[in-house]
Amino acid sequence: MNTFRTVLFTTLFLALSFIGFATDKEPSKDDAPFDPKAMILHHVKDAHEFHLWDWKGSPVSLSLPIIVWTDNGLTSFSSSEFHHDDEGQTIVEANGGRFVKLHEKIYQLDSGATAVAYDAEHHPTNANKPLDFSITRNVFMMWVSVALLLFIFLTTARSYKNSKDGVPTGIAGFMEPLIIFVRDEIGKPMIGEHKYKRYMPYLLTIFFFIWINNIFGLIPILNGANLSGNIAFTFTLAVFTFIITTFSGNKNYWKHIFWMPGVPVPMKLFLMPIEIIGMFVKPISLMIRLFANITAGHVIILALMSLIFVFKSVAIAPVSVAFSLFITVIEIIVTAIQAYIFTILSALYFGMATEEEH
Amino acid sequence: MTITGIAAIGAGLAAIGAGVGIGKIGGSAMDAMARQPEMHGKIQSSALILAAFVEAVALFGVVVAFLQG
């Protein structure tokens, strides 16, 4: 029975995903040539709405609120007022300001301007960007994942609190091996038996947060809210790792950076700038690795699907679907591996920062 | 040749480099695991970390190519 249910849900899930993929690809104008690069970039970037599918030529979407800070204070309106216009044609008036949406960026028109004027590089000349606090689809998915993680881990914690003999029940039975894995395979060997406990909350948080967002990015009906493939997201996580590493660095760590022990003085002087650069390169490589891996995965799947529309032939479809299914399965493994790599490298840096002299 | 073509060649070269690197890591990890099956877990996790380092360099190449192409 259980196997049957698993198979059923897997099939439904996959069917759903390919409906989502296939209907998205259709170019809006039938005579316009299909541009795979524009389509892929549109899917990988953040957006102000969840575009679900096209129905009889008009898009069906979930609109998200736009919140901007202007001279008149906080202004908010629904992104549906733009009527899916992303070329700066539709002007929305709100709170004394006039706004257009151009390539998923909100611009405020200067007073007196009635239409957007562009310079040679297609940048608007008579509009500027206000401070944008909009609930974009990435922000929305982040909140969903935070709510889900809170639910999972509060339930887990409550299960341990209520059980008399410490035996996990329900969802805790599923989470316990994962938490133990992070502790025994990541925390203990990388940081050391005595100090790992301080860092466990952070390591567990980033591991599960990255993992769940990687998985959300693979659900195509959500239009691939590509949160962990967003460089701002990975940048923030990398900055956390950098701050924790820097503040937990002991005397030994700083000595290795500024005055490497055990090498002659010219070598010490030579190594100092390299070590200082290395301090910053480590979080930067964390940032780029997660961003590029997840984005590359999305780009490959979308590129395979756009082959059908590039060749304008149904005969390509089986090949495309088979290959993108194959890549999707690999991506499911990559979601876990990238969360693991980010966490284990963070733990490695914490371990280096707190290592005692030997 | 257009800049897009050159960018694609660059991405391909980055992929070749990463392929050689990950191949060597995987091969050596296999050898080590065959010699010492009891170290299987440790070797596997170090191999994964090293593969991530190599792959990151290839992805830098891909990102640059994507920005240029």
Percent of all residues in chain A with a pLDDT value above 70, rounded to a whole number: 90
Contact list, B56 vs chain A (CB under 8 Å): 285, 288-289, 292
Q: How confident is the model at residue A84 (pLDDT cuts 50, 70, 90)?
A: confident
Please give the model's pTM, rounded to 2 decimal places.
0.81
The chain-wide mean pLDDT, for chain A, equals 82
For this complex, say whether ipTM is above 0.85.
no
Q: Higher model confidence: residue A22 or residue B22?
A: B22
pLDDT digits (tens, 9 = 90+) for A189-233: 889 888 899 999 999 999 999 999 999 888 877 666 788 888 899
Contacts of A172 (CB under 8 A, 6+ apart): A155, A156, A159, A160
pLDDT digits (tens, 9 = 90+) for A7-22: 555 544 544 444 344 4
Q: Which run of H or of E encompasses A65? A: strand A65-70
Give the per-residue SS3 of B11-63.
Answer: HHHHHHHHHHHHHHHHHHHHHHHHHCHHHHHHHHHHHHHHHHHHHHHHHHHHH
Q: Give whole-number Cα distances, A270 to A39, A130, A261, A296, in Å.
A: 48, 46, 13, 37
Are A292 and B52 in contact (CB < 8 Å)? no
Contact list, A340 vs chain B (CB under 8 Å): 48
pLDDT digits (tens, 9 = 90+) for A261-280: 888 899 989 999 999 999 99
Mean pLDDT of A332-344: 91
Are A289 and B56 in contact (CB < 8 Å)? yes
Residue of A185, A296, A348 with shortest CB distance to B62:
A296
Least confident of A47-56, A339-348, B10-19: A47-56
The pLDDT of residue A237 is above 90:
yes
pLDDT at A108: 81
Closest CA to A79 of A46, A54, A55: A46
Measured CA to CA, the distance from residue A216 to residue A203 in angstroms comes to 20
The pLDDT of residue B63 is above 60:
yes
User: Interface of chain A against chain B, CB under 8 Å?
Assistant: 185, 285, 288-289, 292-293, 295-296, 299, 337, 340-341, 344-345, 348
Please report, as a single letter, which amino acid is at residue A85: D
Percent of all residues in chain B with a pLDDT value above 70, rounded to a whole number: 97
The pLDDT of residue A259 is above 60:
yes
Q: What are phi and psi of A124, to 5 degrees?
A: -65, 140
pLDDT at B54: 85
Contact, A145 vs A138, CB < 8 A? no
pLDDT at A31: 60
Q: Higher model confidence: residue A123 or residue B27?
A: B27
The pLDDT of residue A185 is above 80:
yes
Measured CA to CA, the distance from residue A199 to residue A244 in angstroms comes to 9
Least confident of A44-58, A197-211, B17-31: A44-58
Q: What is the topology classification, in CATH, of domain B3-68?
A: F1FO ATP Synthase (1.20.20)
The pLDDT of residue A178 is above 90:
yes
Residue of A292, A337, A344 with shortest CB distance to B59:
A292
Measured CA to CA, the distance from residue A242 to residue A116 in angstroms comes to 42
Domain boundaries, chain B: 3-68
Degrees to nearest 5, angle at CA A92 with A86 and A95: 140
Interface size, chain A vs chain B, as Cβ–Cβ contacts under 8 Å: 33
Residue of B52, B63, B66 with shortest CB distance to A341:
B52
pLDDT digits (tens, 9 = 90+) for A148-166: 999 999 999 998 888 888 7
The pLDDT of residue A5 is above 70:
no
The pLDDT of residue A50 is above 70:
yes
Mean pLDDT of A301-325: 87
Contact, A287 vs A238, CB < 8 A? yes
The pLDDT of residue A93 is above 90:
no
